Structure 1
Amino acid sequence: MLIAFFVNDLETEYPGYTTTVLAHEASRRGHDVAYVTPGDFVLGSDDDLRVHARILPAVKGSKRGRPKFFKDLQAVERSKLIEVSDIDVLMLRNDPSNDAGERPWAEHVGMLFGRLAAARGCLVLNDPAALSEAINKLYFQSFPREVRAETLISRSTADIRAFAKAHGGKVVLKPLQGSGGQGVFLLDGKSGKNLNQMVEAIGRDGYIIAQAFVPGAEKGDIRLFLMNGKPLQVGGKYAAMRRVGAEGDIRSNIHAGGKARAVRITDRELRVAEMIRPKLVRDGMFLVGIDIIGDTILEVNVFSPGNLATCSKMAGVNFAAHILASIEQKLEIRRQYPGQFDNRSLAVM
């Protein structure tokens, strides 16, 4: 098959990124791999959808490692204009918030053209129509209240101050749209006098989320991968890790200086994951990363959940192989039962 990966920019990708891990595994399994970026789509007057793709054909019998694979991918100098219908699978692995500032035109491209690609027979993961509803953290508020921290979304300093007072003066502030720990502040007794400055800094990009501080957050959170709505596990080992923030930093994101630690997934985390499973399945969310503290989910990353390589290394399991096997199975189902499943249903089958 030809599997394409939609990313913000190939120049900002790295060998250790989850996207590269998945692309390398696809190539290792004998599939051709393509990378696509926001400026690559072409919708012609004949309504044919084409794309300028940087293609790296599979090499039969190749045993190249991930660093060599990524180097070979970067060495592909010319893109090839192909029909989107020639792409079997399009994985939307971009982070829209990374384009919101300097390239706002690119923010919604993956979801818009992803829907057109799905209509032309390409399997698009995650489902692009559902992703368009999850473009910001407001999507998180549609999950059961039992698993969410108490939250206020506002641009009013007075509202946020009242919310903080109601929660003992200790809340986490972050932008409604964003990722990677950018613009995240902890408001407590020491920093309370700086609330105006915090609101001003975050509010430049829109609405602000004020979230009640979850006990145990100082010990970090658990990143758990879900596939087809269920925790990704092989032989009792889960694709999960604990993320611990740097000393004095509330953020546990690895890109923000957090450290990865091994973690044991218990019935507690599994129960929380089960509570959000129905919605993820309804929305066609094939591969998702959730961040858990105790009985509370802090984030649901449906666009580009990361750290799969770290989870695999800690568990001693090639989780990417099982992700690709699931994708291959979806294509086989579509081949055997043509026209019987829409993109959203097939995405989580």
Structure 2
Amino acid sequence: MRIAFFVNSIEGETEYYTTTAFALAAMARGHDICYLTPGDFVLRPDDSLMIRTTTLKNGRPKKADTFISALQGEQSKIQTIAIGEIDVLFLRNDPSEDADERPWAAHAGAIFGRLAAERGVLTVNDPDGLARAQNKLYFQGFPEAVRPTTLISKSIEEIRAFVDEQKQGAILKPLQGSGGKNVFKIASSKESNLNQIFEAVSGEGYLIAQAYLPEAMAGDTRLFLMNGRPLQRDGVYAAFRRVPAKGDVRSNVHAAGIAAAAEITPKMLAVAEMVRPKLVEDGMFLVGLDIVGDKILEINVFTPGGLPNIAELHGVDLALDVIIALEQKVEMRKNYAGRISNRVLATL
């Protein structure tokens, strides 16, 4: 099996990325892997879809740092191949990273991923589902019971009124964004710096204002779902607690948050079950839920990360389970000769 990982850039990949864990797990099982980026698709006049892939010239590194060094160095090579020469296109880019400086690149994966799926390549998460999830507005399509009270607006008057209605204050963040960038806690609409915060966040478009959940002070729990259900092996869940740095409301690891072991409660599993139907319907093979109490702060469908943290905390490499699931889907696709849609196959 050959798996192509679609990422924002080759030079931006690191040894602690979950995509790296997937690549190592795939190679350990004897599969070929390659990487491609937003500028690496070619649709030729005869309607053939080609991809410019970055691969290793030889060897299958077993260590993350060795692999990344080879991928980004002279041990790599670029080849142009037909899309049909890969079995799986794993879309693992973060659109928000490209939204400002390379807007054309932000959704190239979903656009060309749709063409790949039409040509028989298993593409996950399903590109049509990802197209519907291009910003945090996607979250509003899930049951109200799992969402914090939320306002989406560009009006400072609307936001002030909303903040005043929240006894515990509110969180402001851009509708389009990730990694904890421009996330602020507002205790009152009378805060002197609210106008400055509003200007900083609204410069990126619409804002989300969410009722602040006091439990978030202790951090949130990132729980992975695969095929709509919690990913686990032998009682170890693909989950970890993201603890905010002192004095920071953001628990994102990229924002100095700390990864710690998480206890998965029946309440969390009930929340995961409540969002399962829509995730399955949208062909979301692998997602990350950020949970506080019985509420979900975000549903990460593009490039949920943290599996290396879980492996370090529990000694269980759940990236391997993800690769095995892809093997099973490729076998299903062969057995049914294209009679099962990509969207359905993505979560079987």
Q: Where on the TM-score scale, by shorter chain, does this alignment land: which range?
A: over 0.9
Is the alpha carbon distance of 1:293 and 1:163 closer, same or farther for their aligned partners in structure 2, counting shifts above 3 Å? same
- Please give the secondary structure, in 1, of the residue aligned with 2:77: coil
Is the CA contact 1:251–1:258 (under 8 Å) kept in the aligned structure 2?
yes
Give the equivalent residue in structure 1 for 2:63: 65
* TM superposition shift of 1:169: 6.2
What amino acid is the match of 2:20?
A: T
Matches within 5 A, 1:1-349: 1-56=1-56, 59=59, 64-75=62-73, 76-168=75-167, 170-189=169-188, 192-349=191-348
Gaps of 5+ in 1: none
Aligned identity (percent) is 54
| CA distance in 1: counterparts of 2:37 and 2:61, whole angstroms | 27
| CA distance in 1: counterparts of 2:294 and 2:205, whole angstroms | 29
| CA distance in 2: counterparts of 1:286 and 1:339, whole angstroms | 18
More displaced stretch, 195-204 vs 143-152: 195-204
Superposed CA offset, 1:239-274 (max 9, x none) = 111111111100000000101111111111100000
- Report the count of equivalent residues: 347
* TM superposition shift of 1:309: 0.5
Is the CA contact 2:287–2:304 (under 8 Å) kept in the aligned structure 1?
yes
More displaced stretch, 337-346 vs 70-79: 70-79
* TM superposition shift of 1:201: 0.6
Is the CA contact 1:31–1:57 (under 8 Å) kept in the aligned structure 2?
no
Is the CA contact 2:41–2:50 (under 8 Å) kept in the aligned structure 1?
yes
| CA distance in 2: counterparts of 1:261 and 1:77, whole angstroms | 35
| CA distance in 2: counterparts of 1:146 and 1:101, whole angstroms | 33
**Aligned CA-pair RMSD:** 1.4
- Please give the secondary structure, in 2, of the residue aligned with 1:69: helix
- Please give the secondary structure, in 1, of the residue aligned with 2:39: helix
Gaps of 5+ in 2: none
| CA distance in 2: counterparts of 1:196 and 1:89, whole angstroms | 47
Superposed CA offset, 1:277-327 (max 9, x none) = 000000000010010000000000000001110012212211011110000
- Please give the secondary structure, in 2, of the residue aligned with 1:186: strand
* TM superposition shift of 1:214: 1.1
* Stretches of 4+ aligned residues off by more than 4 angstroms: none
| CA distance in 2: counterparts of 1:184 and 1:197, whole angstroms | 13
* TM superposition shift of 1:63: 6.6
| CA distance in 2: counterparts of 1:191 and 1:80, whole angstroms | 58
Q: What TM-score do you get using the length of structure 2 for normalisation?
A: 0.97
- Please give the secondary structure, in 2, of the residue aligned with 1:132: helix
Is the alpha carbon distance of 1:235 and 1:109 closer, same or farther for their aligned partners in structure 2, counting shifts above 3 Å? same
| CA distance in 1: counterparts of 2:274 and 2:49, whole angstroms | 38
Is the CA contact 1:88–1:122 (under 8 Å) kept in the aligned structure 2?
yes
